[in-house]
Structure 1
Amino acid sequence: MTLSEADLIINPDGSIYHLNLLPEDIADTVITVGDLDRVGEISKHFDSIELKKGKREFITHTGYLGKKRITVVSTGIGTDNIDIVFNELDALVNIDFETREIKKELKSLNIIRVGTSGAVQPDIPMGTILASTYGLGFDALMNYYIQQMSGDEHSVLDSIKSHFSHIKGIHPYLTAADSTLLQTIGKDMEKGITVTAPGFYAPQGRQVRAKNAVPNFISQLNSFKDGTNRITNLEMETAGIYALAKTLGHKALSVNAILASRVKFEFSSEPNKIVEKAINMVLERI
């Protein structure tokens, strides 16, 4: 199948539309961050940097840590941006830009998110580095994709749907982390289900001026339990990363720097130190 110019937009210089990258620009191991300033905070640890490119909120650095080639790319906030970044990363490795056809041999990327998050359980302190066992999406991204789920994913999602059945209008989706990445990079980290919200304020249970339609949202999250599975934290990208990575045949893990305790109404006074801790842990294991 030949992809149309409207479906796959390629810039005049041969780069993919939003990321502004050429196929040779990215490594097989990709670290994603939400904050564009965090790209440099990771690449400063590289032994060499071969490429720096940027367009809009999408900043990319590719270089070497020892003999390991790594790409770091900023996604911006939210699963709408994850949709752009993951489809374009996949296109860079799995579509021939000359013929506009899908390659016969597909490549699987290792993708690790290093991001920030808030804990919803009282026993998870600020400063914790947490690996997401599952990404639970309360956003609408996967309404537009056909998703293949495992038996375990179906079972946990059924329990989640039952627990949140009283909340109107949400259609949650669930995807597990890649087991190999979870066992290697996330091996001794705190673990749990990460909820991905479609916003930062009311969709994450915050109350400022606008009235929340879902009262006591945090307590509804932290009261969920299915065997050993519990909801541990909230953010805005993980579920989209896990779901699209699996749909496209890539491996993904989300590593969360816990900056806030949502049950204790606290926010860390040293957020940069916690993020740096997460970065170092990932780079040591990658």
Structure 2
Amino acid sequence: MSQARQYHIGLSAADIGGALDVLLPGDPGRVADLARALDDQAYALGQNREYCSWLAHVDGRPVLVCSSGLGAPSTAVAVEELANIGIKRFIRVGTTGAIQPYIDFADIVISKAAVRLEGTSRHYAPLAYPAVASFSLTQRLVAAAERLGVPHHVGITASSDTFWPGQERYDSHSGYVRRAFQGSLAEWRALGVANFEMEAAALFTVCATFGLDAACICGVIARRVDAEAVNHAAYPLAAERWQSILLEALREPV
């Protein structure tokens, strides 16, 4: 384990108090609320670039909350440097667009694996290598959701490098989607993929190649079966649900 302050995240092992767990929201603006939901005495460690970090304690155990930034490249940077300072378990926390008709706004999607539509994971392992979540860490999230009675779905996630063409969204600046992606939404739906987001595949792949545990929990704020637009009104309930699941899961003895 490195004692040096890490270049991108701006943290050292001394800062995180022996934490082995990190929660990784993409948005730096979500870090404080998530940390305080775990611990009303949580405090900020700092911010460098897109990486905002807070430290919380759950039943006396330190838990780091650190934003990963948007997309796979910045997520991989976070994993590399957090692993350097001793983090062993990584949970991505974020929002997502559901592509199955049975998934509703503010439902929770817990990913068991991810389709590697992004490019970052290919720098760590060939495409034949599966992007699979840690079974034990994922099961802790599922068990917590079941105990709390939170509406949730366990499924395969598609991770895209882009918000628009890679997810076959037509509400972009140009409205154009390359032929390679036209029809892809219907295909992934037919193959049973639950949702689109932008980080899980890289997180799962990088962590697996490092021998670390990774999981992903997301709240639904878009239903692609109905429309492409994000439903901002769904966010508060989605956040409340993932916060309750995470707190319940983190209270379990490891």
Which TM-score applies when normalising by structure 1? Answer: 0.76
Question: C-alpha separation between the residues in 1 aligned to 2:189 and 2:128?
Answer: 16
Question: C-alpha separation between the residues in 2 aligned to 1:276 and 1:262?
Answer: 22
Query: Which of these residues, 127, 143, 147, is aligned with residue 106 of structure 2?
Result: 127
Query: Which of these residues, 136, 148, 153, is aligned with residue 180 of structure 1?
Result: 136
Question: C-alpha separation between the residues in 2 aligned to 1:143 and 1:241?
Answer: 12
Give the aligned length.
Answer: 233
Query: Which of these residues, 6, 9, 12, is aligned with residue 22 of structure 1?
Result: 12
1:65-104 equivalences in 2 (<5 Å)? 65-93=58-86
1:197-236 equivalences in 2 (<5 Å)? 197-208=160-171, 209-213=174-178, 214-224=181-191, 230-236=192-198
> By how many angstroms is 1:282 displaced?
1.1
1:231-250 equivalences in 2 (<5 Å)? 231-250=193-212
Query: Which of these residues, 180, 193, 196, is aligned with residue 159 of structure 2?
Result: 196
> By how many angstroms is 1:221 displaced?
1.0
Question: C-alpha separation between the residues in 2 aligned to 1:36 and 1:173?
Answer: 30
Which of 1 and 2 has greater Rg?
Answer: 1
Corresponding position of 1:141 = 120
> By how many angstroms is 1:130 displaced?
1.1
Residue identity matched to 1:254: C
Corresponding position of 2:234 = 270
Question: C-alpha separation between the residues in 1 aligned to 2:208 and 2:248?
Answer: 25
> By how many angstroms is 1:24 displaced?
2.2
Name whichever structure is richer in helix by fraction.
2
> By how many angstroms is 1:267 displaced?
3.7
Equivalent residues of 1:185, 1:282 under 8 A apart:
yes
**SS of equivalent residue, structure 1 residue 181:** helix
Aligned-pair Cα RMSD in Å: 1.9
Residue identity matched to 2:59: G
Question: C-alpha separation between the residues in 2 aligned to 1:235 and 1:137?
Answer: 11
- The superposition leaves residues 121-156 of structure 1 with CA deviations (integer Å, 9 ceiling, x where unpaired) of 111111111100102110111222236xxxxxxxxx
Residue identity matched to 2:244: N
Question: C-alpha separation between the residues in 2 aligned to 1:176 and 1:267?
Answer: 27
1:35 partnered with 2:27: yes
Decide whether aligned partners of structure 1 residues 260 and 200 sit closer, same or farther in structure 2, where only a CA change above 3 A counts: same
Long gaps (5+) in structure 1: 1-7, 94-107, 148-170, 225-229
Equivalent residues of 1:47, 1:65 under 8 A apart:
no
Decide whether aligned partners of structure 1 residues 264 and 51 sit closer, same or farther in structure 2, where only a CA change above 3 A counts: closer
- The superposition leaves residues 158-189 of structure 1 with CA deviations (integer Å, 9 ceiling, x where unpaired) of xxxxxxxxxxxxx6863211111121112333
Percent identity between the two aligned chains: 24
**SS of equivalent residue, structure 1 residue 239:** helix
**SS of equivalent residue, structure 1 residue 89:** helix
- The superposition leaves residues 264-286 of structure 1 with CA deviations (integer Å, 9 ceiling, x where unpaired) of 11643231221222122111221
Equivalent residues of 1:109, 1:250 under 8 A apart:
yes
Question: C-alpha separation between the residues in 2 aligned to 1:17 and 1:134?
Answer: 30
Decide whether aligned partners of structure 1 residues 23 and 36 sit closer, same or farther in structure 2, where only a CA change above 3 A counts: same
Equivalent residues of 2:114, 2:201 under 8 A apart:
yes
Long gaps (5+) in structure 2: 147-151
Higher deviation after alignment, 245-254 or 259-268: 259-268
> By how many angstroms is 1:47 displaced?
4.2
> By how many angstroms is 1:50 displaced?
5.2
